[in-house]
Amino acid sequence: MSTITTSIRAAVAIAAAAPATPAAARPAERMRRTARRWRYLSNAGAALLSALLLVWTLTPIYNIIMVALESEGDVAVTHIWPPEPSVESFWVVLTEGHWYLEAFWHQFGNSVFLAAMVTLFVLVIGTLTTFSIGRMRIRNGWIITNAALLTYVIPASFLAIPFYRIMQNYGLSNNPWSVIAAMVTFATPYAIFIFQQYGKSIPLELDESARIDGASPLQVYFRIYLPLMAPSLVAVGTYALLLAWNEYLYQFLLLSSKNSMTVSVALAQFMNSDEAPWNYMMATAIIYAIPPIVIYYAFRRHMAAGLTAGGVKG
């Protein structure tokens, strides 16, 4: 009897070790082929969608460059590339060689001044607010931060006319400081939110140690808080600068004279003529876009660190 049992066990073991029959292997192989086919199709679809998005994104930039290289201001062209490309448009812009561009460098300076002041005030107001609320433990400070974020409930475009009336009443119409005040108002709540989140990663023990050593609140602010907040300062500062640099609505409403307007508003003046010099307009746009592109790519690593609200280790 034991011999029969041993033979049965050996037969079962041999059957289990034997390879699967072709009938049992077909469904698994069919499933693998189906999964592989779907993977290829999904990769092909993703590649096609990426190519369409890339073309959709680069086509306007390509048109801007192509029109800027035209010898004449004709935007309705049928060729893919100018038959005789020329950089004369850029030279005309740089030398203010057209009557639309007679104040280009002055207006460019206005843009730089406006963006720099907006960035400075946003950083100062945002850091002082979060330092006083988060580090000095002001009572009910959370109300200030939440109230600041609530300002984004109302779209900025809805406040354009009230801002215009207020600036007129205060005698700030046609003054760059009116635009600076508006941009600081819109950018500061976001700065407070980012600074508050990033400041939580800075240990409070550093402040307490500095106070034990006799440091005043201003010394703690300048020597401990600001240096450790550097990544978030770069991130928020870049955001505020780009916001002010690309703003059009408030600059158009509040700045009217050629000596006070910025380049973004001056570009719209090209449309007042029956024969707009499109090549000069596109060349001006390209030159005007160079500073923010350089700033963005110079600080993009610091921006990523500043927006993650991390990176500070006690």
- 148-200: per-residue pLDDT in tens? 777 778 888 888 888 889 888 888 888 899 999 999 999 998 899 889 888 88
Tally the residues of the chain: 314
Distance CA 207, CA 227 (A): 13
Contact between residue 125 and residue 191 where contact means Cβ atoms under 8 Å apart: yes
Using alpha carbons, list the distances in angstroms from residue 303 to 164, 243, 311. 33, 15, 12
CA distance 182 to 114: 11
How many beta carbons lie within 10 A of that of residue 135, not counting itself?
18
Cβ atoms of 127 and 196 within 8 Å: the answer is: no
Tokens of 138: 């002001």
CA 258 from chain centre, in angstroms, equals 29
Q: pTM value?
A: 0.78
Q: What is the pLDDT of residue 148?
A: 74
Out of 8-12, 173-177, 203-207, pick the least confident.
8-12
Mean pLDDT of 285-310: 76
Residues 200-204: what's their mean pLDDT?
84
Amino acid identity, position 209: S
Q: Are 297 and 289 contacting, i.e. CB atoms less than 8 angstroms apart?
A: no
At residue 245, the pLDDT reads 92
Q: In the chain, where do the E strands start and end?
A: none
